[in-house]
Structure 1
């Protein structure tokens, strides 16, 4: 018995030695960090990258009388006032904005161009001095003050205009040699920071819907409403086809407008339940955006899903492809975590710059610190794409599934209709649709749906759960 234990211990030591040698081989010959995509480091792709946060400079003022006393104590000399020439005087109203020194201690630093130099604190200033501002943004590479350049819909663009900045010099050296000086504006060379003018983290994601009704049916009943939702959502029929099927199969004459009203009201009531449900998500999320048509105009649907459990955690409908809806979709998804996983979270997206910019704002406003892994291209040409391609394909398949149900609608008639149409489909996908991944069962099992005999009954139960959620939200807000 002792000989067997001794042999196993020796064999275990041998295996540990082999593992250490393999790790040493990997560390020497296999790079642990590989470029995500060689083309992404080209200067043509620089405009899609998000720069790091700027330095915030808060000026601190001092008292010139204390400085004069300090110089007298340390050096044993007094700082004498300046004798200005009579033909180039400094007006008595001009004082140093930093230490408050009067005009007797001020130079005209560059003649008549408007810059002054304080002899006491050695501060250069003019009418637009930084000490007249509450704070200033500085370039993290050269410390130069950022200049506001453009105002967009949701943010203001600040730019470092220093031509000696190391960031600018490095990007300038990457340009092809045959680029003309007049074409340099086509490349992103200077440091840029986007200051958001709207706080997307104070918007209410769970606002009570205006379309919520009491469902007091005058002509029909709740079962007929469940039938309308079953044909319209589950079987992917348009509102006109749904009305036609109800008349041909069940002998029920319902107009397509009534079917649309039923769908809108049900979506408005079920949406709070879908958005606040505890999905217990995993630490691998996949994000993507696809387009839809609203009154013939292109709109976008942002979707963030659990790549392991396949549930949709966050979604937004927007008329632009800006970063604001992306932030709201991230908020909706991240609020599903009871404890945010931080760096353990693997967030997979495509190469669109809205995702790293949104992650930067999440870290700045909410402290959600995570890395965005961007899978670029359609083929596995690099280590990142090879490792995370399957995660990106999960949300791509989800987009195709959504599009198959969306195409029959020929687009939406309003932005509210698009939002509630997508939310109704998300509720069906998360709670009612059978999935092969889960052995042809819904992704999230609800105890209330176990005794439901058919799909119209399940829709009625979902509406009941949504009404309970809205009631709890109202009571919470009143308290």
Structure 2
């Protein structure tokens, strides 16, 4: 009996080894549908592909006198000036752009054809050399310097123009065989890198808003303000409908303008508390963007949420669908982690190219390396969509919940008003709204809010917590 069990265990190990080898073979030679689709020959899809980061060379100046002293200290020898035996002279105006060594330490490196070499630091340079540039971008495929082609509002486009670059040659191979020469510009053939001119990682995410002031109730009281927020946010009534309900139900005559002022001021005060709360997020995040109207013009709301605990961790309102607001929303979400999970983080988004671009900037600016999985399409036609579709559906349902509250506003009057409106709704969603996921309790339960027996009182407590967060931020700003 023991021999049979031993034989079965050995046979089982043999099967596991065969399965492992087959899995490696499939991953190398039989790509999944979605991964194969990324190499599609369609120009409509290629423009959304994001290339790898380039090699970055930073030019740092040094002092040649320090280098001479270091060489003498280490090797007990002095670096002597260049002995020119060929009769070639170098102008005394020639100075090494890196260490500042004078012409006595400069070689004529290519027979009086304009290239020089510094004997102290070893730099090759000439008038057109990139040594004087603060930053040089190198193609990761062929090693040639990238050429700046376009200057956009927030970034510059650099392109590799080397006709022998392996990236360009591989792009030519996937072109349709019947394509004409005039149609090649529709395809993305050359390596491209976007250098952002605005540092979205130095923007203050927790700056105090302009409306973060004390409440002064000359005519009404905090309870009436709580009623306004309850009708306007919880029950999804417009400002005019809220004013009408207060007059008809409670006999309170208040203008819809005052209701709007209460909502904007409450949002400005609550926002610091919502943005700095310790959500203890899981390692599965989902992101999506939806559109709103500001003065009749399309704007976008970026949302990053915890797919497991359902809390909204990051959000931004922008007038463009560029990568900048995407980075800011992701920064808000990542700041909720006390220790960034790195490769353990699963970030799920749609096929929009802003998310891979944002990932590149996080790797470049903050050295945060994580994986982004893009769920493409509406059906589970591939293994990636089948595995992560549920995560994408969580944020899609959140968008529908937000839109049902947004529709009553008929659009916002300003971008700041839109941001405050979204932040007020996020505060309600995270701390006040009952969720079936949490047995019809709020996602994040706080003792002072749980003790309150009615919704206007809960809003007042939430505003009080926001004021405490503002005071703490002001005290930290004074001490720092």
TM-score for the superposition, normalised by structure 1 = 0.86
Distance change in 2, residues 1:81/1:130 (3 Å): farther
8 Å CA contact 1:287, 1:302 repeated in 2 = yes
* Partner in structure 1 of residue 40 of structure 2: 42
Distance of 1:334 and 1:358 partners within structure 2: 13
* Partner in structure 2 of residue 155 of structure 1: 155
8 Å CA contact 2:157, 2:194 repeated in 1 = yes
Distance change in 2, residues 1:303/1:380 (3 Å): same
Structure-to-structure mapping, 1:5-404, within 5 angstroms: 14=8, 18=12, 21-22=15-16, 24-25=18-19, 27-28=21-22, 31-32=26-27, 34-35=31-32, 36-43=34-41, 44=43, 45-58=45-58, 80-81=85-86, 105=108, 116-118=114-116, 126-404=126-404
Distance change in 2, residues 1:27/1:246 (3 Å): farther
Q: Secondary structure at the match of 1:41?
A: coil
Cα RMSD for the two superposed structures:
2.9
* Partner in structure 2 of residue 449 of structure 1: 449
8 Å CA contact 2:55, 2:137 repeated in 1 = yes
Q: How far did residue 118 of structure 1 move?
A: 4.8
Distance of 1:458 and 1:126 partners within structure 2: 70
Distance of 2:156 and 2:57 partners within structure 1: 18
TM-score for the superposition, normalised by structure 2 = 0.86
Q: How far did residue 149 of structure 1 move?
A: 1.4
Distance of 2:88 and 2:381 partners within structure 1: 71
Q: How far did residue 22 of structure 1 move?
A: 4.1
Distance of 2:63 and 2:221 partners within structure 1: 76
Distance change in 2, residues 1:16/1:461 (3 Å): farther
8 Å CA contact 1:81, 1:104 repeated in 2 = no
Q: How far did residue 159 of structure 1 move?
A: 1.2
* Partner in structure 1 of residue 421 of structure 2: 421
8 Å CA contact 1:37, 1:376 repeated in 2 = no
Q: How far did residue 125 of structure 1 move?
A: 5.8
Q: Deviation per CA, 1:201-227, whole angstroms, max 9, x where unpaired?
A: 111111111112321211111111111
Count of aligned pairs between the two proteins: 450
Q: Secondary structure at the match of 1:168?
A: helix
Q: How far did residue 15 of structure 1 move?
A: 5.9
Distance change in 2, residues 1:455/1:14 (3 Å): farther
Distance of 1:201 and 1:172 partners within structure 2: 37
8 Å CA contact 2:91, 2:103 repeated in 1 = no
Distance change in 2, residues 1:82/1:19 (3 Å): same
Distance change in 2, residues 1:324/1:247 (3 Å): same
Distance of 1:146 and 1:42 partners within structure 2: 25
Q: How far did residue 228 of structure 1 move?
A: 0.6
Q: Does 1:434 pair with 2:434? A: yes
Distance of 1:428 and 1:62 partners within structure 2: 59
* Partner in structure 2 of residue 112 of structure 1: none
* Partner in structure 2 of residue 74 of structure 1: none
Q: Secondary structure at the match of 1:413?
A: coil
Distance of 1:381 and 1:309 partners within structure 2: 28
Q: Deviation per CA, 1:139-164, whole angstroms, max 9, x where unpaired?
A: 11111111111112221111111111
Where does the alignment leave 5 or more consecutive residues of structure 2 unmatched? 69-82
Q: Secondary structure at the match of 2:441?
A: coil
* Partner in structure 2 of residue 411 of structure 1: 411
Distance of 2:210 and 2:107 partners within structure 1: 67
